[in-house]
Amino acid sequence: MPVYDRGYTHWEPSEERAWPAWWVIARRGITEPLKSRWLLVLVIGSWIPALVKAIIIYFKLKAGDLLDVLSGGWSSIDAAGFLSFIEGQRFPVFALLAIIGAGLIAADRRDNGLSLYFSRPLGLKSYVGGKSLIIIFYYFLVTLFPTLALCLFSYLIAPEAGARDLLLLIPLRATVFCVLTGMSLSLVLLAFSSLGKRSIYVMVWWTILITGTEAMHLIAKGLGRNNLEVINFLGNYHNAGAFIFSADPRMGVSSWASFAVVLLGTIAAMVVLHRRIRPVEVVS
């Protein structure tokens, strides 16, 4: 067929503003997993501790200080109490992020998707930023969002506790902590994902990092070696966050030591991502 018979359609501007590339990546990565029934069950299950804490806070008004003893501090509505709640969400964070984040880069490397991504006007920062937002959203879904809901609920049933704390200071502390923690965790998990091409292997590495260091922390604590507790990966985030929440340290090391460990881990993850993510992948 002659070329002139193929026809040609002139480009016509739609006058619609194109979304940033990082937002397109993030939006698709956030909405697609929500179509899974099992993931929704996990998310709903992750909110059960928040519901339990809300019920305990409510009945505290009836039982007074007696419930504080029976609930082990779960009825606390001060900043330290909400940090304890976030700390108690370790398993949902571990499980949900493993499911969501393990294949974000590994699948692209396996399917040679990086060539497709970077054939467009897309930079490394936009690519990593979009992928990170996916993990951060799901981290917020089981930590920050329940905390903000609990703050509002606590104020509605106990306004005498003070709007300044429950509606401003504690939500601000929680937001700062969750934003910093979510950004760091997303980079670390993406770094793991960039090291392999199979999601299952990334999940195994993530499991070893979370549960393995938690077990070693418990062993060190049982042996009285408080200085070795700094090996606890997730524990370092909560221990560093104790400074933000004006709470007691969560481990036998200072909050600044945990902050240094978290900072070094985040920098290492950024270096790995910079070296592992390439615009061109060789197809074998």
Distances in Å between the alpha carbon of 245 and those of 47, 54, 100, 215, 222?
22, 20, 28, 25, 27
pLDDT for the residue 1: 46
Distances in Å between the alpha carbon of 116 and those of 121, 152, 196, 198?
11, 45, 18, 19
Distances in Å between the alpha carbon of 63 and those of 4, 50, 66?
85, 20, 6
Amino acid type, 83: L
pLDDT for the residue 284: 45
Residues counted in the chain:
284
Residue 47's Cβ-count burial label (10 Å; 0-12, 13-18, 19+) is: middle
pLDDT for the residue 11: 56
Going from the first residue of the chain to its last (284 residues), give the mean pLDDT of each consecutive group of 10, the final group possibly shorter.
53 65 91 90 93 84 53 71 92 94 91 80 88 97 95 84 85 96 97 92 93 87 78 94 91 91 96 83 45
pLDDT for the residue 216: 87
Nearest to 203 by CA among 130, 94, 110: 94
Nearest to 130 by CA among 96, 110, 101: 101
pTM of the model: 0.88
Cβ neighbors of 134 (< 8 A, separation 6 or more) are 25, 26, 29, 30, 100, 101, 104, 186
